[in-house]
Structure 1
């Protein structure tokens, strides 16, 4: 159901983009005032049929068009547009082609034309080129849409497995980790998720602040409509990244990246006496930083800052992992396989 809903929204948008320019694709002289030769009569009949097909797919009348139906109509319309108009509008199709297909493919197509540019091509040659370009554009739309659907499906599977692991880990932690430590770890997770949420909001603001047609409007719509799960997952990844940063800091593996944070002390005598909030604690964070095994209250807030950064900057944790991997396995000693 969700797949059809996603495709329906994109198809309705595509339909509306076709509605405004539909009449320009075939000559309006279909009345008896103009003498109709066989070719013109045939085009007039084709125009009538295609117009009816288009109107039957009108979402405003309750229809639910598919992208494939609209793609067929768009290509069929090329046979009706006058040669002069097609020659003038060919650049719009070529521009869409450049924005949709990879740059190397577009360059290869332009290079294949050599000196036989559209302005010099015959009407039939120009028509075939326009059809070929639209065919590639439509194929890219379909492939990208289906790719996004497959990615989302895989994300659902990964998310389900992750939730199971999180549930098992939470149950284990509840049994063996003190309550104050559980609350402290939850605090770090929330801070990391907040960083991921702020980063996601900023990306969405950038997406809405620029013209959707800078690259390709349909691609933008597909990414935003189908890619909502990746947005949610990025927030969850922020929380996991924050916990991973805490683990690295506690293990003393991030000293080169974060030298100000001592991490878990080796000498437990440097810790202040364990306090009870409201009695011996002078600050709400005293119990928390002790539960996390940190040396000072300031280290807790430093950890919160790095947890937020880990959620906000997606490359923070991967870059740290890559640096650790290179230091543990230098290129000369990296095991094969």
Structure 2
């Protein structure tokens, strides 16, 4: 097959898979809203990460080699792998937002319930999953945007993780040096 035919095949697959993914995760989001309201932000972020992954693949189609293009048109697995990583990276980024490791005016701020006891219990965990939301509309939009970016740019979240690990080791090294002296 020629390159243009392979690009058309791959584009059709991406459109179908994006539509099916959006449909499935929108249904899960809707069900969680109507029945338990748990993990709603998780599902919304995961969906945006998946869509970001699909858009990223579509953007890169024209630059892949003919061999890679042929491989992509013969198998569904490589096409699904990038969006799934995008969804996972969006969940990691969500955890980084909630923990405060990533913060600033460009990033969303969340309302997180406070445990009623000094030791978190089951009620706190239920509240954490049902009552953790962005504080404002702009914070919600920031959350969706950064979730999409986490899926679109496959190096974004791993770079944040590397930076956090590096800063953490730099902060622990001075103490190690003092104890070695």
Q: TM-score range by the shorter chain?
A: 0.5 to 0.7
State the partner residue of 1:263: 109
Alignment root-mean-square deviation, CA: 3.4
State the partner residue of 1:243: 91
The question of 1:232 aligning with 2:80 is answered yes
State the partner residue of 1:196: 53
Q: CA deviation at 1:223?
A: 4.0
Paired with 1:261 and 1:327, the residues of 2 have a C-alpha distance of 20
Q: Secondary structure at the match of 1:254?
A: coil
State the partner residue of 1:181: 38
TM-score under structure 1 length normalisation: 0.33
Q: CA deviation at 1:243?
A: 1.2
State the partner residue of 1:99: none
> Structure 2 vs 1, CA of residues 193 and 267 (structure 1 numbering), >3 Å: closer, same or farther?
closer
Contact 2:113/2:131 (<8 A) preserved: no
> With CA pairs under 8 Å and 6+ residues apart, which has the higher RCO, 1 or 2?
2
Give ranges in structure 1 of 5+ residues lacking alignment: 1-8, 14-173, 269-289
Rg comparison, structure with higher value: 1
Paired with 2:37 and 2:113, the residues of 1 have a C-alpha distance of 21
Q: After TM superposition, list the pairs within 5 Å mapping 1:236-315 onto structure 2.
A: 236-255=84-103, 258-261=104-107, 263-265=109-111, 291-315=131-155
Q: CA deviation at 1:252?
A: 0.4
Q: CA deviation at 1:267?
A: 8.7
Q: CA deviation at 1:240?
A: 1.1
Paired with 1:195 and 1:181, the residues of 2 have a C-alpha distance of 23
Paired with 2:151 and 2:69, the residues of 1 have a C-alpha distance of 26
Q: Larger % of helix: which?
A: 2
Give ranges in structure 2 of 5+ residues lacking alignment: 3-31, 115-129, 177-181
Paired with 1:303 and 1:316, the residues of 2 have a C-alpha distance of 15
Q: CA deviation at 1:251?
A: 0.6
TM-score under structure 2 length normalisation: 0.58
Q: After TM superposition, list the pairs within 5 Å mapping 1:108-127 onto structure 2.
A: none
Contact 1:241/1:311 (<8 A) preserved: yes
State the partner residue of 2:163: 323
Q: After TM superposition, list the pairs within 5 Å mapping 1:78-97 onto structure 2.
A: none
Q: CA deviation at 1:242?
A: 1.0
Size of the aligned set, in residue pairs, is 130
